[in-house]
Structure 1
């Protein structure tokens, strides 16, 4: 992508002209214009107005793929991200990306991929979203290959594929154990070829909306602190999920904290199935490897290549929980099994179990899992010779923004969403390898649709007095937040929120715990009145204070939907309602009105006839194929 100028550079004439020529092309470049407003002290505060035909919030794989489709249609979107260019959560998706290529198992096809996804999602998935993803993925893999993604190869030169948990066939394409990083690099290289403008280190704090449509967004530059008003009639949210709200999680602390969901909810969009949070079975354990590694992911590829789980009594305990699929059963099954072993006193002194792949050939491990070998070697552990300690970690959120998967539309005119920010593909539990798949499969469809919606006048949208006033109120609110001088830091409250969710809305839940969590959440929210922000705008303290406001909103919605769903399904396990209820094959929709949540039910559609046929065939992985 082409980098947009930072605030200390010349603020006008900053972007190339549109490539134009395609239907729907705006013919107008992105622009930055300086503005000045008066503040209460009379000194005034400067901010920039940035106009663009399409604003893409989120610079990971989903946002990049949307932008590529827009650029290929002759438009010039602007992609903004909270981190440095190329540094997005996509890079942490190590193990692989699913597509029914049949490189090793010719019997596989898209209908079986869809059936596996529905089974893993406990049939709460949006069948249309699942089928779109499964059908699109072979073409998206070939596209990535054409753009230079260096997939591992089988002996005959075809793209290699490995087993992943709960998949009937070897379907997961990979680049060693750095697949997400390689994919994002490939997408960024393609975006640079198309000269797509990109701006890094930008935090969006509010979408500009009247409740019916969006007109852009307001936020600030995370390096200079300068206010930013983005004016666009088309905004795409691709800013990730909310797993980092939990105490132990596989994300970095300042990403996946619910900003996409909270921003969308405030515009009048609805959220879907927030109670479904995936706890990956194999996270690193801080007590063993150091606090900075606590919760970091040990890729499922370790188990996909034959890794085995043992308790401290040297029992391969998955024989007790899942004798057919063993360590490659669904993530929710394996995570609960590990949690139960630890609760039963068969875990290590560090609160973990052992994951061991040392029975495989050392050279094979080094070839297939180079990043894991390198990481643990740096910590004094040779995984080719000894086991590692693992325990469940909050990893992925199946819940998110409710969209139309053909278009990305949210129900608020001009606002679209894609990637982990949304809900529908994964149902009650995500099939490993489908997260990267969703980003490029649905990302292309959304980008193609948005391109058809952009008209000539969208290339240079004007800023009305009402929109300017809304943005300036947001800038004033940010100033007030930055000046907070109480006695409690945002990091303290975020840490307490993480513990609250881990204990009350974690792997195992019940009514009393969820109600206690809501009560504790209100106490925590009251304590934000005594917030202290150190360093003003910009500072890490200020960024965490903004995160806190998003996180509190999404945490409450998660607790309330978990309380409302009185059954166990997939990643949502209620110890007081341990059975899956036949009358609960419904999605829970969350809407907000003046801070009050409403929860509604929606029936889940049926899959198409070809996918029903695949489901009836009963395809299933048997772990012993690996033995």
Structure 2
């Protein structure tokens, strides 16, 4: 198995008594199932396990209920037909495959879209509080590239309302939860997982979790970029890389979605750099204007306008800015002021409040926006009926995995995937539980080796600061693996990432293991490995498809209707490709019917 290159083993340590890293103390926890990640996906898995009579332990890196799910604002997809009765789950599947440029896993798409009507009704029963139509049905709005109005919502705080409902349900089932814990490594021999190790982020205490079943629901990797819509300390690739190092394969890592409308830091301040302006603004009729006041999407997508696919709109905005039609702050305008004031306040309360605090009344004036790294379509390669990764006892779900979204995610499908697949994975894992964990005697040896490595990392006294290295990595990815890519730039990016890896040999970590410096140092190992996988995969895919746009290969190549997979070899990452199965007959029929959004329904 690939080891973490020099970051931990080679970090400089001081001499003398304080450099003694051999003695290790830690807490041991034995459990039937460990769920790593406390967002919607992890919560839904845990609920299903508990209802099947299995008591999992859910762990999260933040306080209970404070997961990245809460940042998903605009809505969650399900073909309910509340407003458009002709919609159905097969059309939802066809839209998803079309948006993913047909390299999605068709089974993953079918399971997600067919499950979602029941999952929405379930969330409604659990108290999610969806917005309703005048006749009391769950309301639905347009999202980009959807043929019909199928995005259910709670104003513009849908993710927060959803996680509140899931946490409340989990608490009613007395599901154990442990907050502020980071997993640093899975204990695996490459064929099976027997536990996980990490530390308490508040106390610095080391933790060993002994278990035969680990479910990774730890998010994606879009926050590796220096302009992104995530919190800086989340979505940094730890979930996928934990799986990779345990023997699982990664897939579609080159596909990172750049959301068209992130906040412009030059206008609103560095604290707001890339923060998401929800797609609900465009779904409710928001218009994109360049600095000349032109509604420029008329040039790029006259039929779907602002609600074309996210990759199309993001590239259009990038082109307007590049060709000198952007604002002086490096963005374009998003304007909802033509809608009635109360309508905006009712449908977009959070956006209205956020911009009001920044001195902008969005009922009267536009917002300044530009593309931002938002979502990672790639992740762990799994069997979607079971969540299995190919490593015995290891499962994955949510943004940690690849398959549902293909080359570009349909807006509103991220929340959908978490609960649709989360339920199925929970069902399967519950069926695998058979008595107490059977933990090999080598597990404690492996755990103690990791703990000693972490102690060396905490004692590193070189000159390179973890935060600066992460910032530099974000700059490298934005420059070399952003919206527009080519071979020369990608190769340059790989060289720069390798130079960053070499700099980690001279790391300096200040404070103790409960400090942010140590947390960032741990993040570095995951982030650098993931960045290498992203750049290598982007180099391998010699075409443009969805969110992956190569200026030196600007067209879709039918021969590249394949997935790129990444494995951990003995000397580094190893890449291969695999063909994509055909969708089922009923989904193929929906594809051939050619359903498509007509934006002008909104006019």
Q: How does 1:215-614 map to 2 (within 5 A)?
A: 215-458=194-437, 461-462=438-439, 464-614=440-590
CA drift of 1:595 comes to 4.3
Paired residues of 2:140 and 2:150 also in contact (CA < 8 A): yes
For the residues of structure 1 that align with 2:252 and 2:311, how far apart are their CA atoms?
16
Query: Which shows bigger deviation, 219-228 or 483-492?
Result: 483-492
For the residues of structure 2 that align with 1:417 and 1:405, how far apart are their CA atoms?
9
Paired residues of 1:358 and 1:383 also in contact (CA < 8 A): yes
SS at 1:536 equivalent: coil
For residues 299-337 of structure 1, the C-alpha deviation after alignment (integer angstroms, 9 at most, x for no partner) is 000000000000001100000000000000000000000
Paired residues of 2:387 and 2:425 also in contact (CA < 8 A): yes
Structure 2 residues not aligned, in runs of 5+: 1-16
For the residues of structure 2 that align with 1:134 and 1:42, how far apart are their CA atoms?
51
CA drift of 1:539 comes to 0.7
SS at 2:355 equivalent: helix
Aligned twin of 2:182: 203
For the residues of structure 1 that align with 2:441 and 2:210, how far apart are their CA atoms?
12
For residues 249-272 of structure 1, the C-alpha deviation after alignment (integer angstroms, 9 at most, x for no partner) is 000111000001111110110000
CA drift of 1:45 comes to 3.5
For the residues of structure 1 that align with 2:520 and 2:25, how far apart are their CA atoms?
23
For the residues of structure 1 that align with 2:290 and 2:131, how far apart are their CA atoms?
33
CA drift of 1:42 comes to 9.0
For residues 428-462 of structure 1, the C-alpha deviation after alignment (integer angstroms, 9 at most, x for no partner) is 0000000000000000000000000011233xx44
Aligned twin of 1:136: 115
CA drift of 1:44 comes to 3.8
For the residues of structure 2 that align with 1:595 and 1:295, how far apart are their CA atoms?
36
Aligned twin of 1:107: 86
For the residues of structure 1 that align with 2:65 and 2:36, how far apart are their CA atoms?
14
CA drift of 1:341 comes to 0.3
Paired residues of 1:39 and 1:45 also in contact (CA < 8 A): no
Q: 1:83 aligns with which of 40, 59, 62?
A: 62
Which structure has the higher relative contact order (CA within 8 Å, separation 6+)?
2
Q: 2:36 aligns with which of 57, 60, 74?
A: 57
For residues 53-79 of structure 1, the C-alpha deviation after alignment (integer angstroms, 9 at most, x for no partner) is 000000000000000000000010000
Aligned twin of 2:74: 95
CA drift of 1:546 comes to 0.5
SS at 1:112 equivalent: helix
For residues 144-177 of structure 1, the C-alpha deviation after alignment (integer angstroms, 9 at most, x for no partner) is 0111110000010000000000000000000000
SS at 1:591 equivalent: strand
For the residues of structure 2 that align with 1:164 and 1:408, how far apart are their CA atoms?
28
Query: Which shows bigger deviation, 442-451 or 481-490?
Result: 481-490
Paired residues of 1:202 and 1:219 also in contact (CA < 8 A): yes
For the residues of structure 1 that align with 2:372 and 2:404, how far apart are their CA atoms?
21
For the residues of structure 2 that align with 1:517 and 1:41, how far apart are their CA atoms?
37
For residues 100-144 of structure 1, the C-alpha deviation after alignment (integer angstroms, 9 at most, x for no partner) is 000000000000000000000000100110000000000000000
Paired residues of 1:273 and 1:589 also in contact (CA < 8 A): yes
Confirm or deny that 1:213 pairs with 2:181. Answer: no
CA drift of 1:425 comes to 0.2
For the residues of structure 2 that align with 1:39 and 1:338, how far apart are their CA atoms?
54
For the residues of structure 1 that align with 2:133 and 2:18, how far apart are their CA atoms?
64
For residues 485-521 of structure 1, the C-alpha deviation after alignment (integer angstroms, 9 at most, x for no partner) is 1111011111110010001000000000000001111
For residues 546-567 of structure 1, the C-alpha deviation after alignment (integer angstroms, 9 at most, x for no partner) is 0011000000000000000000
For the residues of structure 1 that align with 2:71 and 2:298, how far apart are their CA atoms?
30
Structure 1 residues not aligned, in runs of 5+: 1-37
For residues 574-612 of structure 1, the C-alpha deviation after alignment (integer angstroms, 9 at most, x for no partner) is 000000001000000100113411111100011111111
SS at 1:392 equivalent: strand
Q: Tell me how large the CA RMSD over aligned residues is.
A: 1.2
For residues 347-391 of structure 1, the C-alpha deviation after alignment (integer angstroms, 9 at most, x for no partner) is 111110000000000000000000000000000000011000000
SS at 1:141 equivalent: helix
Paired residues of 2:221 and 2:237 also in contact (CA < 8 A): yes
TM-score (structure 2 length as normaliser): 0.96
For residues 521-566 of structure 1, the C-alpha deviation after alignment (integer angstroms, 9 at most, x for no partner) is 1111111111111102111000000001100000000000000000
Q: CA 1:440–1:508 in 2, change beyond 3 Å: closer, same or farther?
A: same
For the residues of structure 1 that align with 2:70 and 2:168, how far apart are their CA atoms?
15
For the residues of structure 2 that align with 1:365 and 1:512, how far apart are their CA atoms?
45
For the residues of structure 2 that align with 1:512 and 1:296, how far apart are their CA atoms?
30
CA drift of 1:39 comes to 11
